Amino acid sequence: MDIGTIELSVEALIGSLLALSILFAFCRSLLSEDFVSTFKTRHSWKSIKVLEQACFCNVCEILLTPSAGLFCDCCGLCTHATPPCQRRADREYRCKDKWLRNESSVRHLWVHGNLPMGVHCADCNEEVDHHVSTDPGLYGWRCAWCQRCYHNDCYTRADSMEACDLGEFKDMIFPPYSFVAARTRDSMRLHLASITPPDIENWEPLIVIANTKSGSSTGANVLSLLRGYLHPLQVMELGSRGPQDALQWAAKASPRPCRMLVAGGDGTIAWVLNTIYTLNIKPQPSVAIMPLGTGNDLSRVLGWGAEPPSVLDPVKILRSIRRARSVNLDRFDLQIEKLHYRLPIQRHPTKTIHVYNYFSVGVDAYITYNFHKTRESRFYLLSSRIFNKLLYFTFGTQQVMQPGCEHIEEKLTLYLDNKPVQLPELQALVFLNIDSWGAGCKLCELSNANGEVRIVNSISDGMMEVFGIVSSFHIAQLQCNISKPVRIGQAKQIRLQVKETVPMQADGEPWMQSPADIRLSSRSQARVLKLAAT
């Protein structure tokens, strides 16, 4: 190698080192306090269609059309979707602080106009929005943290720079000064290092998880509306990794208890309860439900209803959660040991499934199995509660015309508390922990009709009620409350020997089960929130 080549190589090396030093300096500047401050207060824009009310742009003060308007679901700021207004909103208007370092309080974040309907002024206690008709445009002020609202004149008399007490729902909020961020991935996700409980009386924060694939757009709307009333990062979407990210908040808040709102169907609820059990979070979070699935049986029993409200009111949702009481829910372990009936009989390792609502074998599981196969098909394009119920009806009708689970009792041997049970002619066996099955059918209540010995169902007594179903037509009769199920018994220890392949389901999740030895018993409990009727 000659001297000229060596000099070129040295110059190239020096140039590379210089480029790396410039890149390092740039990256360090991105991590400066100014950048972090901008990063942690970034707006989260959504369509104003979620708000279902007239809104004005906070930048140009022109009325927004639903198709062209955006609002920040963290602070409530509104803007046009066009670059001039949106860029200016991002540049000039602050959003909620996602976290605060070395602080012990948070200041009010005042947003001009676009107040919720029917709010009252925190100063004079008169309704604020009645002035809008006489003074169109941006009117009134609202704090994005405590939700206090003022008339324009009353706002000038208020101490707008004082520390915010977080308002009516302060016991549900993670204040931005209460935790330490170890690292960040994006503006709406945070890796927690620790949480310091704030000095708030009866602080029991609420973690919100929504399955946005359930219930059309309802799950996403729940998230957008509740982010404005809570800390935005404690309200999150259920992703492919499951609820682990959300549950780190409950784990870090220990020993203080947390509440959870899970928006989804029975499968989503079971997923969250199973993850709480697997992660061994103590104390266990108490789970409330926003029903977005097709059946929603657990939601019905706990008083949260069969479907989401037609109008999503975040204030009503949060007040209902505060009013609900925490109760125990039995968690049954369904242990499946596969068998091969050859000499000698071969046994396979035991698989355990947690059951909270019910477990069934036979025609109802077969209908659910066919429905799930259809829903997982690439041709399944329309997702809605009505369409899903239509599919269930179709598969149920098919089983009336072409029954596929006749004489299922011949394929099963049942033991209740170690005693063998002689089964009548059936097409399904149902094991209930809660008195709601098949989208609201109350088998225990139906069985208690006509003066028979009453069955008292409890969700926390460690016992399951066992019923038989004669046919898919019998299911339709039960759902219309014009028939009764076949009583089989009650037990704390259940054993079911399966001799041939049969359809099964646990909490609405179906599968085809080959010969197996199955045992069912309660070994632990979950915590759920039960809403009393008003």
Q: Looking at per-residue confidence, does 208 or 311 come out higher?
A: 208
Q: Check whether 288 has a pLDDT greater than 90.
A: yes
CA–CA dist 302, 52 (Å, integer): 29
Please, are residues 481 and 446 in contact by the beta-carbon 8 Å criterion?
Answer: yes
Give domain limits for the chain: 45-166, 172-323, 333-522
Q: How far apart are CA 376 and CA 363, in angstroms?
A: 20
CATH code: domain 333-522 is 2.60.200.40
pLDDT value at residue 318? 97
Residue 119 has pLDDT above 50, yes or no: yes
Give the pairing of strands 110-112 and 106-107.
unpaired
Three-class SS string for 433-484?
CCCCECCCECHHHHHCCCCCCCCCCCCCCCCEEEEEECCHHHHHHHHCCCCC
**Least confident span in 32-41, 123-132, 249-258, 397-406:** 32-41
Amino acid at 161: M
pLDDT of residue 443: 92
pLDDT in tens, 89-105: 999 999 999 888 888 89
Confidence category of residue 259, pLDDT binned at 50, 70, 90: very high
SS3 of 189, please?
Answer: strand
Give the confidence band of 388 by pLDDT, cuts at 50, 70, 90. low
**Region 181-191 average pLDDT:** 57
The residue assigned the tokens 């947390």 is: 258
Could you give the 3-state DSSP secondary structure of residue 155?
Answer: helix
Task: With a cut of 60, say whether residue 209 has pLDDT above it.
Answer: yes
Q: Length of the chain, please? A: 534
Q: Are 269 and 262 spatial neighbours (Cβ–Cβ below 8 Å)?
A: yes
User: Dihedral of CA 216/220/223/226: which sign?
Assistant: negative
pLDDT of residue 241: 74
DSSP at 233: G
pLDDT more than 90, % of the chain: 59
pLDDT tier at 185, thresholds 50, 70, 90: low
More confident residue, 13 or 290: 290
Q: Does residue 519 or residue 190 have the better pLDDT?
A: 519
What whole-number distance in Å separates Cα of residue 155 and Cα of residue 141?
7
59 pLDDT above the threshold of 70? yes
Residue whose entry in the numeric block shows the structure tokens 């208020």: 158
**Dihedral of alpha carbons 130, 134, 136, 139, sign:** negative
Residue 478 has pLDDT above 50, yes or no: yes
Instruction: Summarize pLDDT for 240-251 with one digit per residue, the tens.
Output: 678 998 999 999
Minimum mean pLDDT among 198-202, 220-224, 236-240, 451-455: which range?
451-455
Per-position b or e across 192-230, b if 16+ CB within 10 A of its CB: beebeebebeebbbbbbbbbbebbeebbbbbbbbbbbbb
Phi, psi of 325 (to 5 degrees): -110, 150
Name the one residue in this structure whose structure tokens are 């140009």. 60
Beta strand 486-491 with 493-498 is unpaired
Mean pLDDT of the chain: 84
The pTM for the full model equals 0.85
Q: Predicted confidence band at 448 (pLDDT cuts at 50, 70, 90)? A: confident
CATH level 3 topology of 172-323: Rossmann fold (3.40.50)
Residue 392 pLDDT greater than 50, yes or no? no
Tell me the average pLDDT across 135-164: 87
Report which residue type is found at 338: K
Give mean pLDDT, residues 244-270.
93
**CA pair distance 495, 333, nearest whole angstrom:** 12
Domain 45-166 has CATH 2.40.110.10: no
Beta bridge partners of residue 494, listed in sequence order: 416, 520
Going by the DSSP 8-state scheme, the letter that residue 131 receives in this structure is: G
Strands 235-237 and 206-210, bridge-based pairing = parallel
The residue ranking higher by pLDDT, 406 or 21, is 406
509 bridge partner residues: 506
CA dist 295 and 345 (Å) reads 39
Query: Which tokens sit at 224?
Result: 């957008």
For helices 385-401 and 472-479, angle between their N-to-C axes, nearest 10 degrees: 130
Reply yes or no on whether the pLDDT at 192 is more than 50.
Answer: yes
Structure tokens at 90: 């991002």
pLDDT in tens, 216-248: 668 899 999 999 999 999 999 987 678 998 999
CA dihedral for 425, 431, 437, 438, sign (positive or negative): negative
**Tokens representing 477?**
């009769």
